[in-house]
């Protein structure tokens, strides 16, 4: 087993960490302590090894962190994403806030908070502390979550008080640029009982350099709350990316999560939903376009802790060239969670003979009155579809693009927000344009 005890690399080393902490001495003591603890944890946890089931099929060599640096406090040109109607927006470049629209007064009056981490730590420290890493993801990436907490400087806190409903989405954009730069965005979303809101996060590179991103989300929906979370990443093709989603649903809460994965040399996404209260529901959706030598590694866990809970996971991957995807999912139904409906589906569309889609679906059911299913399919583009499109004058590349969009539509059409549907389609399309 390869164990890396002390952190051998230069960029994210103890010295840099000490500097990072020192620069943040004005922040609450609990935050500083959490960072220190996370840094210790990061150093004590081994790098993933071959024997680790959570990392089966993954390219472990590609995980090396040695080359990356904590970003300088600088901002650079931020790629503009298409505008669409939104409640409020915060834009980060590396770890700096470089743009934001004010929170509409009526939302502020109702007690809605939409703030950068620093602002939230200054103004709402206790509230944040209550929800920060309350239900951490444990799907193998703890070391990278610890790294996130240790160096987290950018990120947002969205808080929607009881009964407040916000129609338009909140939008966050993280931009990473510069060679060997890294970011560690941390997002906390708290919807109190009966609240409704959606948050859309974009993660993009400002250039084509080699970069590191390790992001963490703590998503919490109170009783009967309705939360939509969309995270779309389009990192540079030379980025190493980790993302951990923690989803927590209380009684009758309804959560919809969609992750779109486009960029990165190697991108790992861990998502754990906990159906904690009776009657709660979670949709876990993901769309991935894997191209050239990209590797996308997705690990999921649906934990049903209460009766009458439902979860529905649908992860769709389109694979081109020599790309590789890994899907490993588990549904766990606790003994008390009777009358649970849990579904898990992974579909892989292979547009090339050389692409590799790995699927590891799983169930662990301890209750007897449940409906659970899991399924994984991988298939080539049906040749009759390809020929049909070509026979209308559409060239093979465009035909594949249309077929991929058709394949994704089942997921995209679940979004209520039409404009967001368009924005995501355009983002996905950009992947077919860059060659």
The binder of another protein chosen from 395, 416, 429, 434 (CB under 8 A) = 395
Residue 433 as a binder of another protein (CB under 8 A): the answer is no
Assess contact for 203 and 185: CB atoms under 8 A.
Answer: yes
Q: Does 390 bind another protein (CB under 8 A)?
A: yes
Considering only residues 111, 375, 379, 406, which one is a binding residue for another protein as defined by CB under 8 A? 406
Nearest approach, Cβ of 413 to another protein (angstroms)? 8
Q: Report in angstroms how near the CB of residue 34 gets to another protein at its nearest.
A: 44
Contact pick of 5, 26, 51, 383 for another protein (by CB under 8 A)? 383
257/270 Cα distance (integer angstroms): 12
Q: Report which of 266, 290, 357, 324 is spatially closest to residue 62, judged by C-alpha positions.
A: 266
Is 298 in contact with 328 (CB distance < 8 Å)?
Answer: yes
394 belongs to the binding site for another protein (CB under 8 A): yes
Cβ-count burial 121-131 (b if 16+ within 10 Å, e if not): beeebeebeeb
CB 385 within 8 A of CB 351: no
Q: Measured from the CB of residue 405, what is the shortest distance to another protein in angstroms?
A: 7
CB 212 within 8 A of CB 182: yes
Task: Answer yes or no whether residue 387 interacts with another protein by CB under 8 A.
Answer: yes
Is residue 399 part of the contact set for another protein (CB under 8 A)?
Answer: yes
User: Count residues contacting another protein (CB under 8 A)?
Assistant: 24
Q: For residues 78 and 420, which CB has a smaller minimum distance to another protein in the complex?
A: 420
* Matching residue, tokens 């579809």: 385
Using rule CB under 8 A, residue 360 touches another protein: no
Q: Does 405 bind another protein (CB under 8 A)?
A: yes
CB 205 within 8 A of CB 211: yes
Minimum Å gap between C-beta 283 and another protein is 18
Quick one: which of 382, 416, 426, 430 contacts another protein (CB under 8 A)?
382
Nearest to 352 by CA among 330, 377, 322, 332: 322
Residues at the interface with another protein (CB under 8 A): 382-385, 387-396, 398-399, 402-403, 405-410
């Amino acid at each position: 087993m390869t164990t890396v005890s002390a952190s051998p690399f230069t960029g994210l080393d103890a010295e840099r960490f000490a500097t990072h902490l020192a620069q943040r001495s004005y922040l609450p003591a609990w935050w500083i302590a959490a960072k220190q603890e996370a840094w210790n944890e990061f150093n004590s946890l081994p790098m993933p090894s071959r024997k680790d089931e959570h990392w089966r099929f993954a390219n472990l060599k590609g995980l090396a962190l040695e080359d990356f640096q904590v970003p300088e406090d600088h901002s650079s040109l931020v790629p503009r994403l298409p505008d669409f109607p939104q409640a409020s927006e915060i834009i980060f470049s590396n770890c700096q806030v470089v743009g934001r629209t004010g929170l509409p007064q009526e939302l502020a009056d109702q007690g809605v908070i939409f703030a950068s981490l620093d602002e939230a730590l200054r103004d709402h420290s206790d509230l944040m502390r209550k929800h920060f890493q309350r239900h951490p993801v444990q799907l193998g990436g703890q070391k990278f979550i610890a790294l996130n907490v240790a160096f987290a400087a950018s990120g947002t806190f969205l808080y929607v008080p009881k009964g407040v409903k916000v129609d338009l989405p909140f939008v966050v954009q993280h931009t990473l640029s510069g060679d060997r730069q890294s970011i560690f965005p941390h997002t906390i979303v708290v919807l109190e009982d009966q609240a409704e809101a959606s948050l859309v996060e974009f993660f993009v590179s400002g250039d084509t350099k080699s970069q590191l991103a390790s992001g963490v989300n703590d998503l919490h929906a109170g009783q009967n709350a309705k939360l939509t979370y969309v995270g779309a990443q389009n990192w540079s093709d030379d980025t190493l990316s980790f993302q951990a989603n923690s989803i927590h649903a209380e009684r009758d809460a309804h959560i919809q999560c969609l992750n779109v994965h486009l960029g990165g040399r190697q991108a790992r996404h861990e998502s754990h939903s906990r159906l904690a209260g009776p009657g709660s529901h979670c949709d876990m959706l993901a769309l991935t376009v894997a191209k050239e030598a990209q590797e996308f590694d997705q690990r999921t866990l649906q934990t049903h802790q209460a009766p009458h809970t439902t979860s529905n996971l649908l992860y769709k991957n389109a694979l081109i060239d020599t790309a590789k995807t890994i899907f490993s999912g588990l549904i766990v139904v606790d003994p008390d969670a009777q009358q649970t409906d849990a579904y898990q589906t992974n579909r892989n569309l292979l547009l090339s003979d050389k692409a590799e889609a790995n699927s590891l679906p799983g169930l662990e059911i301890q209750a007897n009155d449940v409906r659970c299913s899991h399924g994984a399919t991988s298939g080539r583009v049906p040749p009759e579809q390809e020929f049909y499109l070509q026979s209308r004058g559409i060239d093979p590349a465009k035909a594949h693009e249309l077929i991929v969009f058709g394949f994704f539509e089942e997921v995209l059409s679940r979004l209520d927000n039409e404009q967001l549907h368009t924005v995501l389609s355009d983002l996905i399309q950009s992947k077919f344009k860059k060659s």
